[in-house]
């Protein structure tokens, strides 16, 4: 039943993206989307209560899918450079898939409050430019790891600067076709050019040692909870936090999302207890195996959790 609902949502996403590209976001109505999908407007509203919610869900789907792909590429045992290039290729493919939709949003300034939500702090106030966004923070952490692996620790203070360079080049490649009317650049050629520019920029920065344009204080909070910076005892809790972020941004039924978050809460509470109950922990891990978007993180979490249980039972 859930698979059928997800399949229908995928159809709605594809149709909505096509119509937004053809007519524009503001000019496309929910009735237009329902008719193109081949079902009633009421059926569409069973999945999305408004066009704004639909747009938000497309964002969540795109960002959640991208995060999962980037994490998978980082876990495949490549060298830092090959990992980085694989992630850039994944990013380009994802952006091409959603390019028309994103460019249309920029031109129409139709962000449906998404940006405001992401800039809100937990206490309701406004955060600064480095406010924690689950996908952006995770992407930056992975880019930074690749930069450190490729160019060494001395490049770290320029991680923010080079991330801006990477992002600017990627988005510029996509805009050349739409805004300049140029033929589409092959992805392999774009990646090769980006690698050349990045190598040159990194070499020049290391030689001249200027003050970073993006100082570390603006992105330091994004890496505080990265697994590489934490002790082994904290890693399961960091992974659970990241899994909660992933669920919050994934397109799934509300009941399924609530059940998954509850399982993660129970798992977190058990692991924080002085004597975690093995049966409860293993039961929650089994429940989480049913959640597709968590498979990559769960593969990292399960051995850590089981090791922690063995360690605690031995004391």
**Is it the case that residue 149 has pLDDT exceeding 90?**
no
Which ranges in 152-277 belong to alpha helices (H)?
159-180, 187-208, 220-223, 235-248, 254-272
**For the stretch 122-147, what's the b/e string if a residue is b when 16 or more beta carbons lie within 10 angstroms of its beta carbon?**
eeeeeeeebeebbbbbbbbbbbbbbb
Q: Where are the domains of the chain?
A: 1-49, 61-224, 229-313
Tokens standing for residue 87: 């992630």
User: Average pLDDT for residues 80-85, to the nearest whole number?
Assistant: 88
Third-level CATH fold of 1-49: Arc Repressor Mutant, subunit A (1.10.10)
Q: How many residues does the chain have?
A: 315
Tell me 79's DSSP state.
-
- For residue range 123-135, list pLDDT tens digits in order: 444 444 444 455 5
Describe the crossing of helices 254-272 and 295-313 by its angle, rounded to 10 degrees: 30
Q: Please state, rounded to an integer, the average pLDDT across all residues of the chain.
A: 77
pLDDT for 266? 93
Q: What is the pLDDT of residues 176-214, one digit of tens each?
A: 766 666 677 788 888 999 999 999 999 999 999 999 999
Provide, rounded to the nearest whole percent, the portion of the chain with pLDDT above 70: 71
Instruction: State the Cα torsion 270-276-279-282 to the nearest 10°.
Output: 60
Neighbours of 49 (CB within 10 A): 11
CA distances 58 to 4, 158, 167, Å, are: 18, 33, 21
* pTM for this predicted structure: 0.56
Q: Which phi and psi (to 5°) does residue 126 adopt?
A: -85, 140
């Amino acid at each position: 039943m859930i698979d059928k609902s997800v399949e229908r949502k995928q159809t709605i996403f594809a149709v909505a993206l096509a119509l937004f590209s053809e007519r524009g976001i503001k000019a496309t109505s929910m009735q237009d989307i329902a008719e193109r999908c081949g079902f009633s407007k009421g059926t569409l509203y069973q999945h999305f209560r408004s066009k704004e919610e639909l747009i938000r869900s497309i964002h969540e789907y795109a960002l959640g899918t991208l995060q999962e792909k980037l994490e998978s590429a980082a876990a495949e045992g490549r060298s830092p450079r090959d990992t980085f290039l694989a992630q850039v290729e994944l990013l380009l493919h994802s952006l091409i898939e959603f390019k028309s939709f994103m460019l249309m949003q920029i031109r129409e300034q139709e962000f449906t409050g998404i940006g405001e939500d992401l800039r809100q702090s937990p206490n309701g106030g406004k955060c600064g430019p480095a406010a924690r966004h689950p996908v952006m923070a995770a992407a930056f952490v992975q880019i930074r790891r690749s930069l450190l692996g490729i160019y060494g620790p001395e490049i770290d203070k320029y991680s923010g600067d080079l991330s801006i360079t990477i992002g600017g080049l990627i988005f510029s490649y996509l805009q050349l076709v739409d805004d300049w009317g140029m033929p589409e650049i092959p992805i392999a050629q774009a990646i090769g050019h980006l690698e050349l520019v990045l190598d040159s920029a990194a070499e020049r920065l290391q030689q001249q040692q200027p003050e970073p344009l993006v100082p570390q204080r603006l992105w330091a909070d994004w890496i505080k909870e990265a697994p590489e910076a934490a002790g082994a005892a904290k890693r399961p809790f960091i992974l659970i936090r990241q899994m909660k972020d992933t669920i919050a941004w994934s397109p799934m039924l509300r009941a399924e999302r609530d059940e998954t978050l509850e399982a993660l809460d129970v798992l977190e509470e058990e692991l924080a207890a002085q004597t975690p109950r093995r049966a409860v922990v293993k039961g929650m891990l089994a429940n989480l195996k049913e959640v597709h978007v968590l498979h990559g993180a769960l593969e990292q979490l399960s051995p850590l959790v089981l090791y922690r249980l063995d360690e605690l039972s031995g004391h």
